[in-house]
Structure 1
Amino acid sequence: MPRGGLNMSAQGNGLDERGYIINSCSLDNIQPEFNTVVNAVIDELCLCFPDRIDGIYLYGSVPRGTAKVGKSDLDVSIVFKDAVTNADNEALCSISSSIAKSHHQVSKLDLDPGCMQNILLPQEKYHWQFWLRHCCCCVWGNDLSRHFPQQKPSLHIARALNGDVDVFLEQMTGKFARMSENEISRVLGKKLLRSAYYLIAEQDGSWHTEIAICAEVARKHYPQHKDDIQLAYQLAIGHLVSKEKAFVLYNRLREPLNAGFIK
Structure 2
Amino acid sequence: MTAQGRGRGLDAEGYIEREGSLARVPEAFRPVVAAARDRLRDVFGARLDGAYVYGSIPRGTAREGRSDLDLLLSLHDGPTEADRADARVLEAALDQEFAEIDGVGTLLFSRARLLSDLERHDLGWFVACLCTPLLGEDLAGHLPRYRPDALLARETNGDLALLLPRWRERIAAAEDTDEARRPLVRSMSRHLVRTGFTLVMPRWNGWTSDLGEMAGAFGAYYPERASEMREAARAGYEPTGDPAVLHSYAHDLGPWLAREYTRVHGVKAPRS
TM-score, with normalisation over the residues of structure 2?
Answer: 0.83
What residue identity is the alignment partner of 1:78? Answer: L
Structure 1 regions of 5+ residues with no counterpart?
1-8
Indicate which of 80, 90, 93 corresponds to 1:95.
Answer: 90
Q: Deviations for 1:123-144, whole angstroms, at most 9, x for unmatched residues? A: 2110121111111110111111
- Assess if the C-alpha contact under 8 Å between 1:188 and 1:246 holds in 2: no
- Quote the sequence identity (%): 26
Q: Which residue of 1 aligns with 2:244?
A: 245
- Assess if the C-alpha contact under 8 Å between 1:235 and 1:246 holds in 2: no
SS of residue in 2 equivalent to 1:198:
helix
Pairing of 1:1-263 with structure 2 (within 5 A) = 12-168=7-163, 170=166, 180-238=180-238, 240-242=239-241, 244-251=243-250, 252-261=252-261
SS of residue in 1 equivalent to 2:108:
strand
What residue identity is the alignment partner of 1:249? Answer: S
- Assess if the C-alpha contact under 8 Å between 2:212 and 2:234 holds in 1: no
Change (3 A) 1:244 1:177: closer
Deviation at 1:257, TM superposition (A): 2.7
Structure 2 regions of 5+ residues with no counterpart?
265-272
Aligned residues: 252
Which is worse superposed, 25-34 or 244-253? 244-253
- Assess if the C-alpha contact under 8 Å between 2:180 and 2:241 holds in 1: no
RMSD of Structure 2 on Structure 1 (CA): 2.6
SS of residue in 2 equivalent to 1:83:
coil
Q: Which residue of 2 aligns with 1:4?
A: none
TM-score, with normalisation over the residues of structure 1?
Answer: 0.86
Distance 1:154 1:212 in 2: 21
